Structure 1
Amino acid sequence: MLHITRIAFACDSFATLADRMTSRATEGKVRLTTRYRPKRHEELVGGSLYWILKHRLVARSEILGFEDAEGGRTYIVLSDKLVPVVPVPRRAHQGWRYLAAVDAPPDFGDTTSSGEALPPELTEQLAEIGLF
């Protein structure tokens, strides 16, 4: 499975990103505009878009498909469900980048992790001071 990464532009916290996704949702979907359709778009359907916030992958949204948008642009159609992931350092970049499944961080609350999942806000704070 193939995924992509993208900056959560103008979001200063996980809560801000979650609010943005909720406000833009229509019928359980969020349409994200991009200039170019990814060449490997067929491989991305069923994968996820991983959000970069403060130089870390912090959440993901399932990619449901791609649609044509006005002006020759493309919509990346995402699930409106934002899934927190274990934060992983990631440099900022413009647009999107491919992410192989083996490099994707696990979800919070994944059955392979021990103990209960921490809230995303707490994990952000721990990561900021280098403890997570």
Structure 2
Amino acid sequence: MTLHLIKLCVGVDSVEELAAWIEEDLARQRGAGLVPEDSHTTRMTPKRTEALLDGGSLYWVIRGQVLVRQRLLALEAVTGADGIGRCKLVLEPVLVRTVPQPRQPFQGWRYLEPKDAPADLGARTAGADDLPDALRAELAAIGLF
């Protein structure tokens, strides 16, 4: 059964800023002769790996709203320069916008059940990609998304 993760996207103010950061990082890796890989390293390793890799995504909270997700491709154990073990979340570098969903701040990541995950922006929200994130969030708050 599929399971997702949710995490705050600290230091990012918009989906566009996240997309630019990802593209810059992938370009840096290409320039260094590496195989480009979008990833995020976190301190704690999820225990429910099989469910996360069964179609799960990482949902990003940007400025208090879930706005976008990325499909999880792999979870890899890594050791930092400080000798501390961490988990590298390997992500598909494609951002899928979601219907905005408010979230309070929290530390680290949390599991997110599919029933609680916001829907992807799709046919019923056609044209919504052109709206500013703040307006899209307000429309979702009053039930128009």
TM-score range, shorter chain: 0.7 to 0.9
Task: For residue 69 of structure 1, give the secondary structure of its aligned residue in structure 2.
Answer: strand
Q: How much does 1:127 deviate?
A: 4.4
- In our comparison, the structure showing a higher alpha carbon Rg is 2
CA-atom RMSD in angstroms: 1.8
Residue 74 in 1 paired to residue 87 in 2? yes
Q: Which amino acid aligns with 1:42?
A: E
Tell me which residue corresponds to 2:97: 84
Task: Give TM-score, length-normalised by structure 1.
Answer: 0.86
Number of matched residues?
A: 127
CA distance in 2, matches of 1:59, 1:44: 17
> What is the alpha-carbon distance in structure 2 between the residues aligned to residue 51 and residue 117 of structure 1?
21
SS in 1 for 2:135: helix
Task: Assess if the C-alpha contact under 8 Å between 2:128 and 2:136 holds in 1.
Answer: no
TM-fit CA distance, 1:117: 3.4
The two structures have a TM-score, normalised by structure 2, of 0.79
More helix by share: 2
4+ residue stretches of structure 1 with deviation over 2 A?
A: 23-29
Letter in 2 for 1:40: R
**Percent sequence identity over aligned pairs:** 37
Q: Distance in 2 between matches of 1:86 and 1:12?
A: 17
Deviation at 1:94, TM superposition (A): 0.9
Task: Supply the distance in 1 between the matched residues of 2:117 and 2:46 (Cα, whole angstroms).
Answer: 18
